[in-house]
Amino acid sequence: MTAIDLPLQRVLIIAPHPDDDVIANAGLMQKTRAAGGQIRVLFVTDGENNGWAQRFMERRIFLGAGDRRRWGDLRRREAEESLIRLGIPQSSAVFLGFPDRKIAAQLMSGETALQTRLAQEMDRFRPTLVVAPSRFDLHPDHVAISCFAHRAAAESAWRDALVVTYVIHGSGGSSRIQAEVHLSPCEQETKRAAIACHVSQLFLSGRRFLSYASETECFYPEETDLAVPSRAQLRAGWRRHVLAALRSTIRSFRGPQRSVR
Ligand SMILES: [Zn+2]
């Protein structure tokens, strides 16, 4: 399946953090605009708990609640600028303000506030396509939000949406790909410009982030396993993600880029 075959009339993108939307979907968003479709992006968290990037960028060790709030505000502004680069109006962005790095804990404790909110947004927007994070991702927030998003799609009164998923940290498996979006050189350049708006994230991992502006975006099927992952599974995934990111950051300080995707 290619972008042409996807139902692009109303596309709802669920982004755990500001930047996941463009990293995984900037090509899809450009195809949607070109097809005359509408886009809504739900930013679940503000990415305010992104401590090491903030410490390096601001050259300080200790971060208080006010510092994190300010970082979250910065990341919201970057997300809005990034969408504008794609020609998407600010009004398409909805910031849900759930706590960064706490979503997995919410899932495990049985909290359902995020699931309810996502279902409300689906009822309101009536998407033809829902693009959600995947439980195959290594980041615990992405895994947890995948569970909440799929449950919300089942709970929503609006049932006419195709659900696809995306993986940013790790691999979704080439045999599982359901749809590919192929970007033209111009679309790749626009995606690169959109990612570059996330200055706070480029400081430590610039080359890795910009490498996401590749020729293809891959989307995976709706997920049927909605069981809550164990704490050990989430921890193991998180360790693999942190090690891969660390290796990539060290490489980017040393010399030529090699993609970690
Ligand atoms: Zn993320």
Centre of ligand 1 from the C-alpha of residue 51, in Å:
14
Secondary structure tally for the chain: helices H, strands E = 9, 7
Please give the single-letter amino acid code of residue 219.
F
**Per-residue confidence (pLDDT) for residue 4, from 0 to 100:** 64
**This prediction's pTM:** 0.90
Centre of ligand 1 from the C-alpha of residue 186, in Å:
25
Q: Which domains does the chain have, with CATH numbers?
A: 3-254 (3.40.50.10320)
Distance of CA 147 to the CA centre of its chain: 14
How would you write the pLDDT of the chain (261 residues) with one tens digit per residue? 666 689 999 999 999 999 999 999 999 999 999 999 999 999 999 999 876 787 878 788 888 888 889 989 999 999 999 999 999 998 999 999 999 999 999 999 999 999 999 999 999 999 999 999 999 999 999 999 999 999 999 999 998 999 999 999 988 999 999 999 999 999 999 999 999 999 898 877 788 889 899 999 999 999 988 888 888 888 888 888 888 777 777 776 665 444 434
Centre of ligand 1 from the C-alpha of residue 15, in Å:
7
Centre of ligand 1 from the C-alpha of residue 50, in Å:
10
Contact 205, 255 (CB under 8 A): no
CB-CB neighbours of 62 under 10 Å: 6
**Per-residue confidence (pLDDT) for residue 261, from 0 to 100:** 40
Centre of ligand 1 from the C-alpha of residue 88, in Å:
20
